[in-house]
């Protein structure tokens, strides 16, 4: 079994690539979704978040007080503290998931995350796949998908790494500047390369 990370900027096409992998049998873990789950289910994460951002981080019913966390973490430039709590928990859970997948005889386990190469190449993934796209296309796609303004998108993009600079850390780069079908085809081809190559 191999583990792969799929990363890239907002609207670059990461999820589309992962959906194709899933169709072919890969087990994909979406880091954002897993993080959201752990923030309400993992007691260690809950305790650390309360300690760092205050008890108001959770409503009395145990649900996340998103507006409080946005105010405390994002508007006060404390995102790194949030990431330092959530990311290690995501990595740990991904390891658990991968171990279970291996026992089940699965061939490919994938972690999809925009923040994957911020501290260099992660040691727990066999292969890194970077999805790159022209900036204008990314903006156009996200505008269509999320109905958000162009300035919101560019503000989010400007907080992300310059993914083109991260190509030396990737084993495979998928350029997504053509049609959706072309991207899906590239993903399917890569899936077959991955499951038929010995890594490590």
CA distance 28 to 62: 27
Check binding of 87 to ligand ATP (CB under 6 A). Answer: no
Check binding of 185 to ligand ATP (CB under 6 A). Answer: no
Check binding of 160 to ligand ATP (CB under 6 A). Answer: no
DSSP state of 162: -
CA distance 88 to 124: 12
- What character string, x for contact with ligand ATP (CB under 6 A) and - otherwise, covers 34-53? --------------------
CA distance 156 to 159: 5
- C-beta separation of 124 from 110 below 8 A: no
Check binding of 179 to ligand ATP (CB under 6 A). Answer: yes
Which member of 114, 117, 128, 129 binds ligand ATP (CB under 6 A)? Answer: 114
Query: Closest separation between CB of residue 108 and ligand ATP, Å?
Result: 18
Which among 56, 22, 105, 12 is positioned nearest to 4, based on CA atoms? 22
Query: Closest separation between CB of residue 180 and ligand ATP, Å?
Result: 4
* Phi-psi sector, 188: left (phi>0), alpha (psi -120 to 50), beta: alpha
Check binding of 141 to ligand ATP (CB under 6 A). Answer: yes
Which among 40, 69, 48 is positioned nearest to 57, based on CA atoms? 69
Which member of 100, 180, 192, 193 binds ligand ATP (CB under 6 A)? Answer: 180
Query: Closest separation between CB of residue 148 and ligand ATP, Å?
Result: 10
Which member of 85, 128, 183, 190 binds ligand ATP (CB under 6 A)? Answer: 183
Sorted by sequence, the CB contacts under 8 Å of residue 105 that are 6+ apart come out as 1
Query: Closest separation between CB of residue 122 and ligand ATP, Å?
Result: 18
Which among 154, 125, 162, 146 is positioned nearest to 31, based on CA atoms? 125
Which member of 3, 48, 98, 176 binds ligand ATP (CB under 6 A)? Answer: 176
Which member of 14, 27, 111, 186 binds ligand ATP (CB under 6 A)? Answer: 14
What is the binding site for ligand ATP (CB under 6 A)?
8, 10-16, 114, 141-142, 145, 176, 178-180, 183
């Amino acid at each position: 079994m191999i583990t792969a990370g799929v990363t890239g900027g907002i609207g670059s096409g990461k999820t589309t690539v992962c959906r194709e992998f899933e169709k072919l049998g890969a087990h994909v873990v979406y880091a954002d979704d897993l993080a959201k789950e752990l923030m309400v289910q993992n007691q260690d994460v809950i305790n650390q978040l309360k300690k760092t951002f205050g008890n108001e981080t959770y409503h009395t019913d145990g649900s996340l007080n998103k507006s409080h966390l946005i105010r405390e973490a994002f508007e006060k430039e404390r995102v790194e503290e949030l990431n330092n709590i959530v990311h290690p928990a995501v990595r740990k859970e991904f390891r658990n998931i991968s171990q279970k997948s291996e026992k089940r005889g699965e061939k490919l386990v994938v972690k999809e995350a925009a923040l994957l190469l911020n501290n260099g190449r992660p040691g727990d993934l066999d292969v890194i796949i970077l999805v790159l796209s022209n900036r204008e296309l990314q903006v156009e796609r996200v505008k269509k998908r999320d109905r958000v303004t162009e300035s919101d998108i560019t503000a989010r993009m400007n907080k992300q790494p310059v993914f083109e600079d991260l190509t030396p850390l990737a084993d495979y780069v998928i350029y997504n500047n053509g049609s959706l079908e072309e991207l899906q085809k590239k993903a399917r081809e890569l899936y077959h390369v991955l499951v038929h190559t010995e890594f490590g």
